[in-house]
Amino acid sequence: MKIKTKQLAQMAVLTAMSILLVLWIHVPIIPMVPYLEYDPADIPILIGTFMFGPLGGLLITAVVCFIQGVAISATGLVGALMHFFATGSFVIVAGNIYKHNRTRKGAIIGLGLGAVTMTVTMALWNIILTPIIYGMPLEAVLSVIWWIVLFNVIKAGVNGGITCAVYKSVSKVLGLELQEPKRVETEVE
């Protein structure tokens, strides 16, 4: 993937937006698992994914996760890694589908399947990594796995829905809109 200076600057703007959103907005949404906090940081990442493709979205995700893990998150690099798995899986699926079907329908299908992928991915990673990293018994993780699934469904659904609603207008404001080739129309008599 060759990145031009303008694209790199646009990716940096989206990265900064993502970091600011996680700083300003992070709220628990399920009282039984208050440590799982909703944040809209994935919205600029998904906009970048639609604009620059799945690899561009994955690059933005990696930078955001690193900055968040080092400078913001209480969970540090473990949280950054989990965020990368979650958002990265969402980005790869949504980005690949939208890359091959750049329509509103393609965006909706990509975001929907990306949300499902993120939810399944995070259920599996929580079952695998949480006992290893935090020393929790597997039974304890399994006792809250449905709350984790519900959380990821809500987070991915809200972020995907907002992305779908604002993508075109935000990309135009930021100068990120896709430049379609101009068609030359000829008059036929």
Q: What is the pTM of this model?
A: 0.88
56 assigned to some structural domain:
yes
Asked if residue 188 has pLDDT above 60, the reply is no
- 86 lies in which domain range? 5-23+37-172
83 assigned to some structural domain:
yes
110 assigned to some structural domain:
yes
181 assigned to some structural domain:
no
pLDDT in tens, 28-87: 999 999 989 999 999 999 999 999 999 999 999 999 999 988 888 777 788 899 999 999
48 assigned to some structural domain:
yes
pLDDT in tens, 111-125: 999 999 999 999 999
| CATH number of 110's domain | 1.10.1760.20
126 assigned to some structural domain:
yes
Mean per-residue pLDDT over the chain, rounded: 90
Q: Between 76-100 and 138-173, two packed helices, what is the crossing angle to 10 degrees?
A: 50
Instruction: Domain count for the chain, please give it.
Output: 1
% residues pLDDT > 70 (the chain):
92
For residues 65 and 73, give the distance between their C-alpha atoms in angstroms, rounded to a whole number. 9
55 assigned to some structural domain:
yes
pLDDT grade for 1, boundaries at 50, 70 and 90: low
For residues 46 and 161, give the distance between their C-alpha atoms in angstroms, rounded to a whole number. 11
29 assigned to some structural domain:
no
Distances (CA, A) of 142 to 23, 123, 139: 30, 9, 5
